[in-house]
Amino acid sequence: MTRISIPLFLTQEYDCSYLDGEQAQSAFVHPTFQLTTPIYSQLIGQGFRRSGDQVYAPRCLQCSACIPARLAIDEFKISRSQKRCLKKNDQTQVIVKPPVFEQQHYDLYMRYQKMRHGDGSMAHSSPDEYLSFLSSSWCDTRFVEFSINNRLAGIAVVDYLDDALSAVYTFFDPELSSYSLGVYAVLWQIEQAKRQQRKYLYLGFWIKDCKKMSYKREYQPLQLFNNNCWTELSF
């Protein structure tokens, strides 16, 4: 593996989005540095994460709650509830698309945000803000459509990396929540990674005391990035 020097800059402290009363700080790859999918494939293995064109890692002074999480595809053990989810979605149609703006995708995103995260800033996203958050000018990203009875039901945004997939974001029609499309999207990505002989599925950050992140413990065995190494954590 070729070693490269990547310039970073440290943000000022800001209110944490996940833990009430906490202050957060992040290290970002400097915008003058030209990122590529191969370089990001190395950075994500070191605990970094993409948001739009920006790549960052938590560097909070008083807190280390945000822990990068991933699954080793060949070691994944499906649970009974996940098998039921697959059965429930055995007629769900899937289409993989390029990361371009589509009005029905945006409309679904806004319905999801207003229903699930109505008090957050993303519930007021413009079309440009929506696309710049999920897509990237340099990363190999796809929008995966899930449809039920010819009705758009959900979208999984997935980065295709050198030896892994990365689950960027998933949103779905709140009226179809009984299909557990958030779970199905992760299971679909696991199966795709297996078919493509990729080693990992990156799941973003796991935060023990954040309910929004608690679902990640359902995918076992989960690997967490602590002290600059990946270790398996079973619950």
Q: Quick one: pLDDT band at residue 119, thresholds 50, 70, 90?
A: low
Say yes or no to pLDDT of 118 above 60.
no
15 assigned to some structural domain: no
The model's pLDDT over 80-93, given as tens digits with 9 standing for 90+, comes to 999 999 999 999 99
19 assigned to some structural domain: no
The model's pLDDT over 17-73, given as tens digits with 9 standing for 90+, comes to 888 889 999 999 999 999 999 999 999 999 999 999 999 999 998 898 999 999 999
The pLDDT value given to residue 235 = 56
Which pair of tokens denotes residue 40?
């990001």
Query: Residue 111: which domain range?
Result: 71-203
Torsion of Cα atoms, 52 then 53 then 55 then 60, to 10°: -60
The pLDDT value given to residue 121 = 66
Say yes or no to pLDDT of 128 above 60.
yes
DSSP assignment string, 144-193:
EEEEETTEEEEEEEEEE-SSEEEEEEEEE-GGGGGG-HHHHHHHHHHHHH
User: Would you say the pTM of this structure is higher than 0.85?
Assistant: yes
The pLDDT value given to residue 126 = 95
181 assigned to some structural domain: yes
135 assigned to some structural domain: yes
The pLDDT value given to residue 49 = 97
The pLDDT value given to residue 219 = 94
82 assigned to some structural domain: yes
DSSP assignment string, 205-223:
EE-TT-GGGGGGGGSBSEE
Q: Quick one: pLDDT band at residue 124, thresholds 50, 70, 90?
A: confident
Q: Look at the chain and report how many structural domains it folds into.
A: 1
What percentage of the chain carries pLDDT values higher than 90? 81
Mean pLDDT, range 185-200, rounded to an integer: 98
16 assigned to some structural domain: no
The pLDDT value given to residue 178 = 96
- Cβ contact 1:38 at 8 Å: no
Q: Quick one: pLDDT band at residue 233, thresholds 50, 70, 90?
A: confident
Residue with tokens 């950075």, as numbered in its chain: 43
Domain containing residue 131: CATH number: 3.40.630.30
The model's pLDDT over 143-173, given as tens digits with 9 standing for 90+, comes to 999 999 999 999 999 999 999 999 999 999 9
14 assigned to some structural domain: no
183 assigned to some structural domain: yes
